[in-house]
Amino acid sequence: MFRWSLIPDPSSPEAALDLSDRARLHRKLMGLFPDYKGASRANGRERFGILFRVAPGSILGQSRIPPDAARAPGGYRLSDLSDTPVLPPGASAGAHFQFVLEANTSFREPGGGSRRGLRDELDRRSWLVRRAETAGFGLVRVSVRPLGAVRGGRAVFEAVSFEGILRLAEPALLARAVENGIGQGKAYGFGLLLMGTRLPASLERA
């Protein structure tokens, strides 16, 4: 799994427009990779496993193939490219890790209606608990930080940042979740699960 950062030039008007519209930013990120000539170019993000998160001063990304620095758009530079395991060292059942996840906590209305964002903190926590169960980890501690509205083309999302400590239950499931992302809106900068180094064994026995 390749991890990398795309650094925008703070003086670039083009980069400022991209950061205000996740759909524009998604197109710029896709430009770092070869054109996908399959049945649908929309499959490119999934095919290459591209996930990203907008952070202060940079866009953090991961992908199954390395981005091409020569394809970086004007107003950006590629940095911190590394080839790393999907899960950090020590990722065995029972291990504890710090994590950060920016998510689009939404649900589909009954009858196949449109998706709606969850705004109540308890609902957002419940959303994460359900996703964690299917992703092979439990929550030891988590804080919920609303990030406000995020625009992606004509769509508007309610962004939420979850930060805390997870307990690994099933490494294979967690690896799949890290590689594929969690939740909806991955093309708009949601779903990238970032994990820190393994926490001390004293905490694991707590």
Convert the pLDDT of each residue in 91-107 to its tens digit: 999 999 999 999 999 77
Domain ranges of the chain: 2-83, 96-204
Where residue 200 falls among pLDDT bands split at 50, 70, 90? confident
Contacts of 140 (CB under 8 A, 6+ apart): 96, 164, 165, 166, 167
State the amino acid at position 162 in one-letter form. F
Architecture of domain 2-83: 2-Layer Sandwich (3.30)
Please tell me if the domain spanning 2-83 has the same topology as the one spanning 96-204. Answer: yes
Helices assigned H by DSSP within the chain: 13-19, 22-30, 44-48, 121-134, 171-180, 201-204
SS3 206: coil
Where residue 114 falls among pLDDT bands split at 50, 70, 90? low
Percent of the chain with pLDDT over 90: 79
For residue 127, give Cα distances in angstroms to 105, 133, 184, 201. 7, 10, 12, 28
Residue-level pLDDT at 39: 45
Answer with the residue of higher pLDDT: 160 or 36.
Answer: 160
- Domain 96-204 = CATH 3.40.50.300: no
For residue 192, which phi and psi values (nearest 5 degrees)? -80, 115
